[in-house]
């Protein structure tokens, strides 16, 4: 089908010329006023239909390029949002030119490999160290979080999916900021568990779950999903909350890799604190 489309696109002027020649010859042979009007109207309709079809074909083959450009532009816009900056305002003396300085940056990428049916699932992206990707960077989709960069080559990177039983992520209930540990039990790829939420905490089915921002990887407030159910843990002091993920891992194409400018500074400080 695509081969036929390419042939039509390549030779469409020649085909159009032949069609018009046939129409002209028909008009010449049937030289009556009525037939002329009918044939001319028909020829106009044929030409209009041909150009309309050509337009749709061009649009189809340009979709990939358009999607890439839109994804790249979205990454740039996300880097300009207020949430990508940190607050530098202090009460004693403002020593900065701006109240905010940039904390996060975004790199657009395409998913070229993905798994969801294993206990330890991974993704592969088409961006690597040459494009600024480093291990332990966050990966999100337009609909929610996806995973964490594990390994990087020059032009590719592997990502630990959140659908991995070895991965724990700090998450919270958006309405009240109570946080817990988000894990996957290896079963349903559309659901995860939020553990360690005290049983006195108010929670409702449909409540939004987001990243807590308590790590150097995921910015706070990134969408994870909504509460679909909950149950008591064995000791009765905490709830296991079932989260319906907002990201459809069977339909992942474009993602954003998020870097943290302050990551090294924060980790160094925390390491010194622990060692002391």
Q: Note the pLDDT of residue 61.
A: 53
Three-state SS string over the chain comes to CHHHHHHHHHCHHHHHHHHHHHHHHHHHHCCCHHHHHHHHHHHHHHHHHHHHHHHHHHHHHHHHHHHHHHHHHHHHHHCCCHHHEEECCCCCCCCCCCCEEECEEEEEEEEEEECCCCCEEEEEECCCHHHCCCCCCEEEECCEEEEEEEEECCCCEEEEEEEECCCCEEEEECCCCCEEEEECCCCCCCEEEEEEEECCCCCCCCCEEEECCCCCCCCCCCEEEEEEEEEECCCCCEEEEEEEECCCHHHCCEEEEEEECCHHHHHHHHHHHHHC
Task: Check residue 44 and give its pLDDT.
Answer: 45
Tokens 């474009």 belong to residue: 254
- Tell me the HSE value of 5 on the side-chain side, using a 13 A CA sphere: 11
What residue ranges define each of the domains in the chain, with the CATH number in brackets?
A: 2-77 (no CATH), 98-276 (2.40.10.340)
Alpha-carbon gap, residue 206 to 123, rounded angstroms: 28
Cα–Cα distance for residue pair 216/21, rounded to 1 Å: 70
pLDDT value for 247: 95
Residue from 210, 263, 261, 209 nearest 79 by CA: 261
pLDDT in tens, the chain (276 residues): 555 556 555 666 666 667 666 766 666 555 555 555 555 455 545 544 554 555 455 455 556 655 655 665 666 565 555 455 544 443 333 334 444 567 899 999 999 999 999 999 999 999 999 999 999 999 999 999 999 999 999 999 999 999 999 999 999 999 999 999 999 999 999 999 999 888 888 889 999 999 999 988 999 999 999 999 987 665 568 888 999 999 999 999 999 999 998 888 888 888 888 887
């Amino acid at each position: 089908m695509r081969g036929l489309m390419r042939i039509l696109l390549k030779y469409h002027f020649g085909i159009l010329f032949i069609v018009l020649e046939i129409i002209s010859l028909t008009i010449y042979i049937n030289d009556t006023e009525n037939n002329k009007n009918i044939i001319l109207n028909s020829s106009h309709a044929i030409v209009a239909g041909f150009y309309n079809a050509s337009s749709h074909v061009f649009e189809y083959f340009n979709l990939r390029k358009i999607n890439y450009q839109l994804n790249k532009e979205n990454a740039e816009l996300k880097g300009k949002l207020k949430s990508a900056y940190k607050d530098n305002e202090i009460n004693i003396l403002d020593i900065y030119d701006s109240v905010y300085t940039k904390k996060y940056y975004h790199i657009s990428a395409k998913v070229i490999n993905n798994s969801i049916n294993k206990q330890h699932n991974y993704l592969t992206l088409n961006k690597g160290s040459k494009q600024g990707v480093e291990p332990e960077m966050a990966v999100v989709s337009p609909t929610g979080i996806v995973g964490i960069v594990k390994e990087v080559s020059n032009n590719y990177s592997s990502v630990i999916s959140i659908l991995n039983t070895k991965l724990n992520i700090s998450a919270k209930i958006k309405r009240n900021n109570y946080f817990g540990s988000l894990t996957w039990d290896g079963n349903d790829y559309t659901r995860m568990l939020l553990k360690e939420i005290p049983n006195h905490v108010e929670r409702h089915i449909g409540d939004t779950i987001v990243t807590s921002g308590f790590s150097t990887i995921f910015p706070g407030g990134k969408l994870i999903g909504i509460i679909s159910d909950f149950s008591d843990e064995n000791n009765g002091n905490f709830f296991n909350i079932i989260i319906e993920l907002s990201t459809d891992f069977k339909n992942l194409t474009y993602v954003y890799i998020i870097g943290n400018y302050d990551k090294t500074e924060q980790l160094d400080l925390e390491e010194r604190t622990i060692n002391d």
